[in-house]
Each structure stands twice: as structure tokens, then as C-alpha cells.
Amino acid sequence: MSPFLKGPSNSPVSRQPRQQQTKTVSKAVCPKSRWSSKMLDCCDDKLVCLCGCLFGPLLACQLATRYGECCCQPMLPGGLAMLRASMRQRYNIEGSILDDAAVVCTFGPCALCQMAREYKSHSRKM
């Protein structure tokens, strides 16, 4: 008869079962990159610069929609900084949310144009 089919034993458990050791596989960490254009490189794309300066809210809505976010997100308090942080994370760009908030608050139209140029350069690669 199999030892597994026996009834309960009256003897106490003398050894606890051990957890099997598993090896963890670490992911390769890609180095952080930089923005494809600098903040004040408006001459790189004059149309984006013109739209950002004259029609900033429309460019922000268009960028958010193309990026896959709600059109109203950039109009909310902190929304443009959140969109910038999301772009930074998706494209693996160095920086922090504090940097994003400071840049958007200080250089709003320039930051928006930089984000539009970044989106444009990454959408061409796909």
C-alpha cells in the first residue's frame, strides 16, 4: 500500500517543508536618453513653434490626443507636466516629475513645442 494512502499519523512533524529557491532574472536596464531637441530649438520646426506660440492650447490638445490621452488633460492644473512626464517615461528620457513641473511652469510654450517635436521624431521611427 502507498504511504500516501495511510491515515493520519500520531507522530509529530519533525521537519518543516522548505521553500524551493528560485533564481531571479534581472532585466537589462537601458540607459536614459535625452530629449531629441533642446528646449529653445524652435528653428528646428518652425510650424510647431508658430502653433505653440500663437495657438498653444490647440497644439496641447492635439498633442495629447495623438499621444493617446484626453484632449482636456493639458488644460487641467498640472496636466501638461503630467503629459511631459508620461512622454519622458515612454521614451526613456532622463529627468523627474519635479523637472517637468518646473520646465512647464517656467517655459510653457517652449516646453510644449519641445514635446511636440519629440512626439514627431518618435512617431516617424515607428
Name the residue ranges covered by the structural domains of the chain: 35-125
Q: Please state, in angstroms and rounded to a whole number, the distance separating the CA atoms of residues 54 and 80.
A: 17
32-42 pLDDT tens trace: 889 988 888 87
- pTM of the predicted structure, to 2 decimals: 0.72
21-66 pLDDT tens trace: 666 555 566 788 899 888 888 788 888 888 888 999 999 999 999 9
Q: Are 59 and 112 in contact (CB under 8 A)?
A: yes
Q: Map residue 35 onto helix, strand or coil.
A: coil
Residue appearing with cell numbers 520646426: 45
Q: What's the confidence (pLDDT) of residue 26?
A: 55
User: Sorting pLDDT into bands at 50, 70 and 90, what band is 75?
Assistant: very high
Query: Where do the H-state alpha helices sit in 3-107?
Result: 46-54, 56-67, 79-90, 97-106
Q: Are 30 and 92 in contact (CB under 8 A)?
A: yes
